[in-house]
Structure 1
Amino acid sequence: MPQLNPNPWFHIMLLTWFTFSFLIQPKLLSFTPTNTPLNKNTPTKPTPWTWPWT
């Protein structure tokens, strides 16, 4: 059963994991978000919808 042999796939998984961890992730984390979230005061109770047929 070749799928149980981890010999070639373990190295591929490690190479992929290290590539993501050391090359791609720092580049992605260096970006600053353009829209910073704001704390908005939302009303506690919304206004009810008036249906035209009632």
Structure 2
Amino acid sequence: MPQLNPNPWFFIMLTSWLTYSLIIQPKLLSFVTTNPPSNKTSTIPSTTPWAWPWT
């Protein structure tokens, strides 16, 4: 069964991951985000229970 022969497919997978890790990923990570997150103070949410009209 040719599916169980890892010889050509392992090389293809290894080559594609090395290409992604060494070439494509640094290029993608070098972009600056257009909308950086701001340092806002966190607000504490209101924890009052909901008054159900049928209880």
The answer, yes or no, to whether TM exceeds 0.5 is yes
What does 1:1-54 correspond to in 2, within 5 Å?
1-40=1-40, 41-42=42-43, 44-45=45-46
Gaps (5+ residues) in structure 1? 46-54
Gaps (5+ residues) in structure 2? 47-55
Percent of residue pairs bearing the same amino acid type: 67
Give 1:42 deviation, angstroms. Answer: 4.4
Q: 1: CA distance between counterparts of 2:36 and 2:8?
A: 44
TM-score (structure 1 length as normaliser): 0.70
Give runs of ≥4 in structure 1 deviating > 4 Å. Answer: none
Q: Deviations 1:10-35 (Å, cap 9, x if unpaired)?
A: 10001100100011000001001110
